[in-house]
Chain A
Amino acid sequence: MNEALLRSLTPSVLAILVRRGADFAAAEDAVQDALVEAVRVWPADPPRDAKGWLVTVAWRKFLDATRADTARRRREDLVEEEPAPGPVPAADDTLQLYFLCAHPSLTPSSAVALTLRAVGGLTTRQIAQAYLVPEATMAQRISRAKRTVSGVRFDQPGDVATVLRVLYLVFNEGYSGDVDLAAEAIRLTRQLAAAIDHPEVAGLLALMLLHHARRAARTAPDGSLVPLAEQDRGRWDTGSIAEGVEILQAALARDRLGEFQAQAAIAALHADAPTAEETDWVQIVEWYDELTRLTDSPVVRLNRAVAVGEADGPRAGLAALAALDASLPRHTAVAAYLHERDGDLATAARLYAEAAQKAPTLAERDHLTRQAARLNTRRCR
């Protein structure tokens, strides 16, 4: 059975139930039940019309649950008559679901969990495993999220930017659990791009594809980080890069620049360089300048300092870094790198060790510790 097909039908089936008058929370539960039944029944008895099957079964589950719930008896009138399946404006409805699941009243973690379940069709258990929390906790997070958006009208227009932030979070969570969240984020962003014509949606999709292309080269067999400059570029996924670049170029041509397009442009310049030495750092600095204008984010300024260090030399990078708040995450790591490039190995080694203490991830801490060890060993010889 094709689980991807099954899950791709989730948002439109859910939207149909909501359009028929089911409240979002109950409809969402019913669709989950229908998905579980599909996984059970389809391998032996695949339906001719997968979506029609899901709608029928989900609607029946919804009716059963509503009838069983005496407190909801008042709704009986509404649901007794099963409406004939009407025309299905799938793209619009899918878009509304994205908006609802990323509603600004939700915390980021709730929006992520609800999106993965209601739009992505993942089970609560899969989401819990992906985020390394107990299933009961994730179930509560999702039902709270559903209560939070219960008063939101389904056809209310939403803000694409909030949806993109949620998808970005899902993508960035990486590959820790059983569920490949990066691949799932790409699937959901692709689906969103099909539902709405928006250059920043395209920009985010391109950004994801370009980063995903480097996935195999980013870690050594022992799990340690391989920095961009040392990655085996032969292991980059050229198909994914080509697709990302094409999507990005079409988006940029529309002349409505946004932060995801600018980030993707930087990723594309890296992807485009046959060797690390041939990287077009001057253009990358220009894109960081654009990004600074668009976001004014201190993280962007920090990354810009690294790019300046490559384009104009480490002294220029250190000068750019000096203008930034030293308490920024990874500030010390960048300083260590630039000092090493500048030939001050003693300072670099000390700063690498200091940066390791502050590293937010285990892989980064080990990487920075190794950098310090490498310089200390070399200096002792």
Chain B
Amino acid sequence: MAKYLLLKHYRGAPAPVNDVPMDQWTPEEISAHVQYMNDFAARLEKTGEFVGGQALAPEGAWVRYDGEGRPPVTDGPFAETKDLIAGWMVIDVDSYERAVELAGELSAAPGAGGKPIHEWLEVRPFLAAQPTITECPHR
């Protein structure tokens, strides 16, 4: 019973094994890829492990506070930003091992030639709620 964020990157992740940009796939290969992702999410709903997921547009803006009474400043996107998130999925699972197992399955989504992409996905644990029994006497 722990939540994990599975992150898919447009860039910033190590190169996948089947490293062909999506615009060079056939339309059928793209459909198969999308179908795989949808089926994966549907399967997790059935196992009671799905919390949420969304794809993100590649382009975004940076925003910051600019002082009292002034509108926020927007800037970017910055070309030097190495890390670019493509999408996220949140799962609620019994163990870290299960989170890794599921990320492995998601990474097997087919790409060019119908072969798995072997894409690197980032698995990040959520900070949990404070347990009632911390067991540690100094806390």
Q: Which residues of A contact B (CB under 8 A)?
A: 107-110, 112-113, 131-134, 136-142, 144, 168-169, 171-176, 182, 207, 211-212, 215, 225, 227-229, 263, 266, 270, 284, 299-300, 302-303, 306-307, 310, 330, 333-334, 337, 359-365, 367
Q: Which residues of B contact A (CB under 8 A)?
A: 1, 3, 45-52, 92-94, 125, 127-133, 135-139
**A224 to B: closest C-beta gap in Å:** 10
**A358 to B: closest C-beta gap in Å:** 11
Contact status B139-A360, CB under 8 Å: no
In the complex where A225-B139, A266-B137, A361-B130 touch, is A137 in contact with B51 (Cβ < 8 A)? yes
Contact status B92-A140, CB under 8 Å: no
**Distance between Cα atoms of A141 and B129 in the complex (Å):** 21
Contact status B48-A171, CB under 8 Å: no
**A130 to B: closest C-beta gap in Å:** 10
Contact status A225-B130, CB under 8 Å: yes
Q: Which residues of A contact B133 (CB under 8 A)?
A: 168, 171-172, 207, 211, 263
**B22 to A: closest C-beta gap in Å:** 29
**B98 to A: closest C-beta gap in Å:** 9
**Distance between Cα atoms of A173 and B135 in the complex (Å):** 13
**Distance between Cα atoms of A138 and B139 in the complex (Å):** 32
Contact status B48-A361, CB under 8 Å: no
In the complex where A303-B135, A303-B137 touch, is A363 in contact with B130 (Cβ < 8 A)? yes
B46 (CB) vs chain A CBs: closest residue: A140
In the complex where A109-B94, A131-B92, A229-B138 touch, is A137 in contact with B48 (Cβ < 8 A)? yes
**Distance between Cα atoms of A131 and B50 in the complex (Å):** 12
Contact status B94-A364, CB under 8 Å: no
Apart from A134-B52, A173-B132, A360-B125, list 9 A-B contacts with CB within 8 A: A109-B1, A134-B50, A137-B50, A142-B48, A211-B132, A212-B132, A228-B137, A228-B139, A363-B130
Q: Which of A169, A299, A361 contacts B1 (CB 8 A)?
A: A169
Contact status B94-A174, CB under 8 Å: no
Contact status B137-A362, CB under 8 Å: no
Q: Which residues of B contact A142 (CB under 8 A)?
A: 48
- Which of B3, B51, B92 neighbours the largest number of chain A CB atoms within 10 Å of its CB? B92
Contact status B94-A107, CB under 8 Å: yes
9 nearest A-B pairs in the assembled complex, by CB-CB distance: A141-B48, A176-B129, A140-B48, A362-B127, A363-B130, A109-B1, A172-B131, A174-B129, A361-B130
**Distance between Cα atoms of A225 and B134 in the complex (Å):** 11
- Which of B49, B50, B125, B137 neighbours the largest number of chain A CB atoms within 10 Å of its CB? B137
**B138 to A: closest C-beta gap in Å:** 5
Q: Which of A136, A144, A284, A333 contacts B137 (CB 8 A)?
A: A284
**Distance between Cα atoms of A222 and B46 in the complex (Å):** 39
Contact status A140-B94, CB under 8 Å: no
Contact status A173-B48, CB under 8 Å: no
Contact status B136-A334, CB under 8 Å: yes
B50 (CB) vs chain A CBs: closest residue: A137
Q: Which residues of B contact A174 (CB under 8 A)?
A: 129-132
Contact status A182-B1, CB under 8 Å: no
Q: Which residues of A contact B138 (CB under 8 A)?
A: 227-229, 306, 334, 337
**Distance between Cα atoms of A176 and B48 in the complex (Å):** 20
**Distance between Cα atoms of A175 and B51 in the complex (Å):** 20
**Distance between Cα atoms of A172 and B131 in the complex (Å):** 5
A360 (CB) vs chain B CBs: closest residue: B128
**Distance between Cα atoms of A235 and B49 in the complex (Å):** 39
A365 (CB) vs chain B CBs: closest residue: B127
**A352 to B: closest C-beta gap in Å:** 12
> What would be 30 A-B contacts, judged by CB atoms less than 8 Å apart?
A109-B92, A112-B1, A132-B3, A133-B92, A134-B52, A137-B45, A137-B48, A140-B48, A141-B47, A141-B49, A142-B48, A144-B46, A144-B48, A171-B133, A172-B132, A172-B133, A173-B129, A173-B131, A175-B132, A215-B132, A227-B139, A228-B139, A270-B137, A303-B135, A303-B136, A306-B137, A307-B137, A330-B136, A360-B127, A362-B130
